[in-house]
């Protein structure tokens, strides 16, 4: 069977990684003079602590060529084809490095998910299902590249402090947003993060308004699977989001909850939440 590999930005839970037998190649998180492997030696809690203590954001860096080659060769030496998935090439050099490694090893298809977090994770799980059905690497990769254009990923950010520290908004914009208690919605469009609608108010209410905006009046969402991905939101908040999903767009086969990893955490900070799903068609449509 084809082996499915992903970098660590897919934010799939340990349970899902085990269930679907996914190999994870970690990115690196640089905090001061320490370089740590994402999800193994560095966690979101470590990022919060570092930011609180230093006032600066840690940096992330892509796996190196040897990291990818070791992962690919492990399964190629077993005679298995490999399909590997990366965070959008617009966010990281991870994809470019993986492609170099794939050319060197051979028998490896590299897919740029044009996304991050469980936006990528949705594509990875689809690949696992196709591999279980006996698909070959080239066909799986082609189907997943088509799917990347139908993934809808977005998040609501409680505070724009992390966006400001990361240079993604100006000091003036940050001051204005904080004074007005604005909560921006960040969408991934064509592999890039953009600021979409801005909400105002307490985060729990904002999150439910955001979910309503994403789902109300839609008839184009694939009901196979939806993710609720968050960075440390309260259990009550996540439960309310699940109930809202069932109310507005009932019938999902799976509503999966995951905790955002170091990449989303370093971009957006704590109490960020998103719902991520796949459209039936490339273009977003209303009923």
Residue 7 sits in the same domain as residue 142: yes
Average pLDDT over residues 201-224: 95
**What was the pLDDT predicted at 285?**
55
Residue 199 sits in the same domain as residue 235: yes
Burial of 137 (0-12, 13-18, 19+ CB in 10 A): buried
Whether 137 is in a domain gets the answer: yes
Given 101, 133, 148, the domain boundary residue is: 148
SS3 173: helix
Residues 6 or more apart from 94 whose CB is under 8 A from it?
7, 9, 27, 62, 63, 86, 87
d(C-alpha 176, C-alpha 155), whole Å = 20
* Residue 98, domain CATH: 3.40.50.10170
Whether the pTM exceeds 0.75: the reply is yes
Mean pLDDT over each residue of the chain, to the nearest integer: 90
Whether 98 is in a domain gets the answer: yes
Residue 172 sits in the same domain as residue 159: yes
d(C-alpha 108, C-alpha 106), whole Å = 5
Q: Is-contact 211 108, C-beta < 8 A?
A: no
Residue 125 sits in the same domain as residue 156: no
Given 148, 177, 197, the domain boundary residue is: 148
**What was the pLDDT predicted at 264?**
77
Whether 51 is in a domain gets the answer: no
**What was the pLDDT predicted at 283?**
77
* Residue 166, domain CATH: 3.30.1180.10
Residue 142 sits in the same domain as residue 12: yes
* Confidence at 173, pLDDT banded by 50, 70, 90: very low
d(C-alpha 188, C-alpha 204), whole Å = 22
Residue 97 sits in the same domain as residue 179: no
Strand locations in the chain (E): 3-7, 23-25, 28-31, 34-37, 59-61, 82-86, 108-112, 151-152, 154-156, 182-189, 192-200, 221-230, 255-259, 273-279
Average pLDDT over residues 214-232: 96
Whether 35 is in a domain gets the answer: no
User: 100-155, pLDDT tens digit by residue?
Assistant: 999 999 999 999 999 999 999 999 999 999 999 999 999 999 999 999 999 999 99
Q: Which domain holds residue 19?
A: 3-27+62-148
Question: In this model, does residue 75 exceed pLDDT 80?
Answer: yes
Question: In this model, does residue 169 exceed pLDDT 60?
Answer: no
User: 11-52, pLDDT tens digit by residue?
Assistant: 999 999 999 999 999 999 999 999 999 999 999 999 989 988
**237 or 287, which is more confident:** 237
Whether 57 is in a domain gets the answer: no
**What was the pLDDT predicted at 213?**
97
User: 129-138, pLDDT tens digit by residue?
Assistant: 999 999 999 9
Given 148, 177, 194, the domain boundary residue is: 148
| Residues 228, 234, 236, 237, Cα dihedral to 10° | -50
Residue 164 sits in the same domain as residue 142: no
Residue 252 sits in the same domain as residue 273: yes
Overall domain count for the chain: 2
Whether 23 is in a domain gets the answer: yes
Residue 83 sits in the same domain as residue 173: no
Residue 233 sits in the same domain as residue 272: yes
* Confidence at 256, pLDDT banded by 50, 70, 90: very high
Residue 7 sits in the same domain as residue 113: yes
Whether 159 is in a domain gets the answer: yes
Average pLDDT over residues 205-214: 97
Question: In this model, does residue 247 exceed pLDDT 50?
Answer: yes
If one counts every other C-beta atom within 10 angstroms of the C-beta of residue 254, the result is: 10
Least confident of 22-26, 177-181, 220-224, 252-256: 177-181
Whether 47 is in a domain gets the answer: no
**What was the pLDDT predicted at 194?**
83
Residue 193 sits in the same domain as residue 261: yes
Q: Calculate Rg over the CA atoms of the chain.
A: 19
Average pLDDT over residues 48-57: 89
Average pLDDT over residues 75-93: 96
**What was the pLDDT predicted at 177?**
44
């Amino acid at each position: 069977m084809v082996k499915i590999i992903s970098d660590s930005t897919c934010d799939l839970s340990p349970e899902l990684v085990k269930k679907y037998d996914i190999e994870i190649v970690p990115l690196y998180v640089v905090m001061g003079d320490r370089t740590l492997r994402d999800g193994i030696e560095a966690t979101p809690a470590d990022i919060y602590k570092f930011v609180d203590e230093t006032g600066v954001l840690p940096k992330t860096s892509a796996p190196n060529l040897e990291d990818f080659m070791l992962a690919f060769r492990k399964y190629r030496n077993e005679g298995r084809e490999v399909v590997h998935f990366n965070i959008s090439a617009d966010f990281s050099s991870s994809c470019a490095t993986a492609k170099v490694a794939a050319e060197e090893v051979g028998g490896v298809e590299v897919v740029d998910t044009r996304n991050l977090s469980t936006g990528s994770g949705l594509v990875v799980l689809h690949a696992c299902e196709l591999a279980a059905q006996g698909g070959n690497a080239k066909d799986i990769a082609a189907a997943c590249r088509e799917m990347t254009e139908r993934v809808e990923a977005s998040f609501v950010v409680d505070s724009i402090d992390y966006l400001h520290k990361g240079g993604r908004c100006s000091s003036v914009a940050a001051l204005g947003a904080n004074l007005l208690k604005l909560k921006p919605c960040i969408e991934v469009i064509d592999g890039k993060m953009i600021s979409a609608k801005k909400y105002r108010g307490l985060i729990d209410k904002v999150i439910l308004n955001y979910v309503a905006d994403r789902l109300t009046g839609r008839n184009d969402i694939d009901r196979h699977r939806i993710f609720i991905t968050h960075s440390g939101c309260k259990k009550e908040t996540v439960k309310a989001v699940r109930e809202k999903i069932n109310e507005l767009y009932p019938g999902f086969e799976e509503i999966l909850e995951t905790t955002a990893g170091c990449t989303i955490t370093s971009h957006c900070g704590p109490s960020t939440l998103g719902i991520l799903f796949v459209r039936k068609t490339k273009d977003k449509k209303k009923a």
